[in-house]
A and B are shown apart, each in its own frame.
Chain A
């Protein structure tokens, strides 16, 4: 069981907007620790998508945005494109674990 909880799957049609939630607790996100997001395309390694709750690394389209509130984080993808079909993982730091921890991942299907 992952420390951070994500929905197993979400879907949307091209052009639509979807959001993926990441629910934590008072020992991680709720303790003020940042939420980071990774995109894993089929057969590839994870790639950093968002860090520091809402910061996009250079090269990541502004269609991707992140937010954080209380004990959860959220990734929003607007203007869905077929190439966005991938697994998305959230990550934070857990004070009880004394280390980074990941969500179980969410599979995004572009219909």
Chain B
């Protein structure tokens, strides 16, 4: 059963860059699955950030695309998220997840436990 675990700083200063890593265990990241990031602001709903496949093909939420980069490191079985110029609105629990399905049929399973990122000086 594949497991995902987020890691990275829990505190980021406004205008700086948020960097998170998702470690995948019990399965290879070099498969036909995509691997994605989703966030949840405190008390709010879920927001898809983007996803990537081992070949490096990425898809991003248009509202975040200008600030977000998702990359993959197959040798470490990890993928990462970088978000530039963070603001208070970016404070959220960030989840990584495996993306299943294909084309317009996509769902997320399983999810990592999530990591809370606070934006504050």
- A positions within 8 Å CB-CB of B: 2, 31-34, 36, 38, 44-48, 51-52, 57, 89, 91, 93, 95, 97-105
Q: How far is the CA of A99 from the CA of B58 in the complex (A)?
A: 11
Q: Are B105 and A34 in contact (CB under 8 A)?
A: yes
**Pairs A–B under 8 Å by Cβ, sample size 15:** A32-B104, A38-B46, A45-B113, A45-B114, A57-B109, A89-B45, A91-B108, A93-B104, A98-B59, A99-B50, A100-B108, A102-B45, A102-B47, A104-B44, A105-B45
A46 close to B46 (CB less than 8 A) = yes
Closest 6 CB pairs of A and B: A48-B109, A102-B46, A36-B107, A45-B111, A104-B45, A93-B104
Whether the Cβ atoms of A51 and B46 lie closer than 8 Å is no
Q: Are A101 and B48 in contact (CB under 8 A)?
A: yes
